[in-house]
Structure 1
Amino acid sequence: MPVYSFTDRTRVVRTTAYTSTESDHLIYGAKNATGTQLRYTDRVRSAAADWSIYPVGTVFRIKGMSQLYVVDDYGSALTGTGTIDIYQPTRNLMNLWGRRNVELTIVQWGSFTRSAEILSQRTKYRHCSQMLANIVRQRPDLGRVAAR
């Protein structure tokens, strides 16, 4: 798992793309892990990541793009990788994005507390348990949130 300092706001990150019409996302429809709609506007777009690396609510910008991206989703294949999955509304756009390394700048860090609160309700899923354990390892004070 990549180790970043929270003072390192600019970094090169591997990205992939996903869409809500992929077979493993169909049961969730166009909703993200926070229960709200996946976003894809001219200003703000959704992204999925390992919440123990990029906590829910993390806002970033990809170099050369005008949109802001918000981490509001996660995926089992992302746990422990440092990869960020960029939401695309269609399969065609998803395939066009493909896999690419991008330079991104963190505009605002998200909340490990909120991440732990959400993940603590989903521990029957291995990737959620892993992300939660990694958050508690980094932030032992959040162990009480995980125990609820």
Structure 2
Amino acid sequence: MPVYAFADRTRIVRTTAYTCSEDDHLIYGNKNATGTTLRYTDRVRSAAADWSFYPVGTTFRIKGLPYLYVVDDYGSALLGTGTIDIYKPSKDIMNQWGTRTVEMTVVQWGSMTRSAELLSKRTNYDHCKKMLANIVRQRPDLVTMAKL
């Protein structure tokens, strides 16, 4: 897994899209992994990522789009990929996005500490356990949060 320096703010990334009406998200409804509502407004939109790549709270822009995206969710398929999953409110809009390679710029990095805190409560899920282990490898000072 590549480790990105927090100074590396602009990069080309693969994006996919998801919606809360997909079969694997139905049990969560319109909630994200932080427990708040998924966002899709004129200004701010939710995104999912591997939190050891893009910690929870990471805010970014996609070149050519007017929105701010905030990483407030994760997905098991994103683990180790560097892919960002963009939240869309319906399957039609999700399918319109499809898979895109975009230029994104991080406006503000999220919190590895907050990511570790949330993930440490979910170690019965393999992908959460792996994200937490990857965070601890990057930030050994957070090992006390990890119950690996």
TM-score, with structure 2 as normaliser: 0.98
Given that residues 40 and 89 in structure 1 are in contact (C-alpha distance below 8 angstroms), is that contact kept between their aligned partners in structure 2?
A: yes
Q: Alpha-carbon deviation of 1:6?
A: 1.1
Identity level (%): 76
Are 2:96 and 1:99 equivalent residues in the alignment?
no
User: How far has the Cα of 1:146 moved from its partner?
Assistant: 1.6
- The 8 Å contact of residues 123 and 147 in structure 2, kept in 1 or not, is answered as no
* Partner of residue 46, structure 1: 46
Shift of 1:145: 1.5
Tell me, in whole angstroms, the C-alpha distance in 1 between the residues paired with 2:52 and 2:5: 13
- Give per-residue Cα distances to partners, 1:64-123, cap 9 Å, x unaligned: 001000000000000000000000000000000000000000000000000000000000
1:123-143 Cα deviation digits (max 9, x unpaired): 010000000000000000000
Distance in 2 (CA, whole Å) between partners of 1:135 and 1:48 is 16
Deviation of 1:10 after TM superposition, in Å, equals: 0.2
> Which residue does the alignment assign to 1:21?
21
Instruction: Count the aligned residue pairs.
Output: 148
Aligned-partner Cα distance in 2 for 1:121–1:3: 24
**Contact 1:78/1:84, CA 8 A, preserved across alignment:** yes
Calculate the TM-score normalised by the size of structure 1. 0.98
Q: In the alignment, which residue of structure 1 is the partner of 2:126? A: 126
Q: Distance in 2 between matches of 1:122 and 1:144?
A: 15
Contact 2:19 2:94 in 1 (8 A): yes
Asked if 1:68 is matched to 2:68, the reply is yes
Aligned Cα root-mean-square deviation (Å): 1.0
